[in-house]
Amino acid sequence: MVEKKNYKLAVIPGDGIGIEVVDSGLKVLRYLADHSDGKFDFETDYFPWGCEYYLENGEMMEKDGLEKIKNHDAIYFGAVGFPGVPDHVSLWGLRIAICQGFDQWANIRPVEFLPNVESKLNHPNVKDLDWVLIRENSEGEYSGIGGRNFTGRGPGNEVAVQSSLFTEKGCERIIRYAFETARQRKRKKVTSVTKSNAQQYGMVLWDEVFERVSKDYPDVETDKWLIDAMAAQFVLHPEELEVVVASNLLADILSDLGSALAGSLGIAASANLNPDHHYPSMFESVHGSAPDIAGKGIANPIGAIGSAALMLEHLGLKEEADLVNQAIKEATSKGYLTADIGGNTQTSEMTDAIINELANIKVKA
Ligand code: NAI
Ligand code: MG
């Protein structure tokens, strides 16, 4: 008999709707584990870190927070940020602290179009579209290098410096990752996005590395764009997109654009990977804590559930991950749609609908 695998997950719900959608994702995982015929199980350790924690303790997570979660198999994350705590404090104190502390240098953000969800794209073949953004997640514009001069120059004269960091090694590993990803896709193509006409140091280094690495992948088509033109390309010719690789900031922006085009920010999943497996990887929806709808029970859980699927895949449970993605599609095609995608299904109903579809798919199989 194959031994049952038992995974240990660190769960950080965070703030706002992060808490609500993480709950949905865990319900889906629980259902799968309970019906896996003994193939896998998981246990969860909850960490109450986030803005509320900050207001009580003066920090976003415990001082030895990273130490506490470094031996877990994966981290399942909601979102951080809430009015009352400056966004840069909450983001740097938790999400970026984990991504950078655990060298989760590859942020994978698939853009998928779901049945029955109205796309914002006017495109003849919208049903056939899907692409994946590969975001550099350890340096670039989010390197945190800079400073502010508060004094000495008088009111109205403050100066701030914010530097981007591009290392040859950092560029190379993410670009290689993109090429490896492309080899697994139906169309083998990588599109690199920069702003190297205006950013003449870091992004020119990126371009040179892209050029060099591409020579190792003669079977993969390449394409190069500047970010402004690429924003237009997302809308005008999305059929040209397969694997898109970009720096931390640029891919962050493009991923919100991609998920909005697919219908809503609420449906986008993401994985922050440490592909070297030295540290746990972290799985979270692309959206933030959405204070405007928090506590109303109407948040779309699809992004978080899709992120749970990415986590399953990362843990070696590819079949289960595919099941989850299929169940999401079945649920939307049957008309289960939360408010952000044009319906009035509540978060909990959407979650139940997806679990119900998991059961249906299993019975059919
Ligand atoms: P946001 O993604 O939280 O919300 C943007 C808009 O999309 C809002 O109108 C919201 O209601 C809607 N939305 C987002 N997710 C949704 C879902 N699942 N279902 C239905 N509607 C959804 O971005 P915003 O408003 O810029 O940021 C809010 C807070 O979240 C800030 O504190 C920000 O710093 C933080 N944030 C955190 C992130 C993270 O933890 N990874 C990522 C982005 C923002
Ligand atoms: Mg973002």
Q: Residues 73-107: pLDDT tens digits?
A: 999 999 999 999 999 999 999 999 999 999 999 99
Closest of 31, 86, 69, 139 to residue 283, by C-alpha? 69
Q: Evaluate if residue 292 carries a pLDDT over 70.
A: yes
Amino acid identity at 6: N
Please tell me the predicted confidence (pLDDT) of residue 237: 95
Distance (Å) from CA 287 to ligand 1 centroid: 5
Is the CB–ligand 1 distance for residue 80 below 6 Å?
A: yes
Q: Percent of the chain, pLDDT > 90?
A: 92
Please tell me the predicted confidence (pLDDT) of residue 362: 76
pLDDT digits (tens, 9 = 90+) for 213-271: 999 999 999 999 999 999 999 999 999 999 999 999 999 999 999 999 999 999 999 99
Q: What share of the chain is helix, strand, coil (3-state, %, to 5)?
A: 45, 20, 35
Contacts of 308 (CB under 8 A, 6+ apart): 25, 26, 28, 29, 76, 283, 324
Is the CB–ligand 1 distance for residue 289 below 6 Å?
A: yes
Is the CB–ligand 1 distance for residue 337 below 6 Å?
A: no
Nearest ligand by distance to the CA of 99: 1
Q: How many residues comprise the chain? A: 365
Please tell me the predicted confidence (pLDDT) of residue 124: 84
- Identify the band that residue 287 occupies on the pLDDT scale cut at 50, 70 and 90: very high
Average pLDDT over residues 167-179: 98
Please tell me the predicted confidence (pLDDT) of residue 128: 85
Average pLDDT, the chain: 95
> Rounded to whole angstroms, how far apart are CA atoms 302 and 282?
17
pLDDT digits (tens, 9 = 90+) for 301-322: 999 999 999 999 999 999 999 9
Average pLDDT over residues 161-183: 98
Cα-to-chain-centroid distance, residue 133: 9
Please tell me the predicted confidence (pLDDT) of residue 99: 96
Q: Evaluate if residue 188 carries a pLDDT over 80.
A: yes
> Rounded to whole angstroms, how far apart are CA atoms 166 and 191?
18
Q: Evaluate if residue 203 carries a pLDDT over 90.
A: yes
Distance (Å) from CA 215 to ligand 1 centroid: 39
- Identify the band that residue 365 occupies on the pLDDT scale cut at 50, 70 and 90: low
Question: Which alpha helices (DSSP H) does the chain contain, by range?
Answer: 17-34, 51-57, 65-69, 87-90, 96-101, 168-183, 202-214, 227-236, 248-262, 302-314, 318-333, 347-364
Distance (Å) from CA 251 to ligand 1 centroid: 16
- Identify the band that residue 2 occupies on the pLDDT scale cut at 50, 70 and 90: low
Q: Evaluate if residue 323 carries a pLDDT over 80.
A: yes
Distance (Å) from CA 248 to ligand 2 centroid: 10
Average pLDDT over residues 47-67: 97
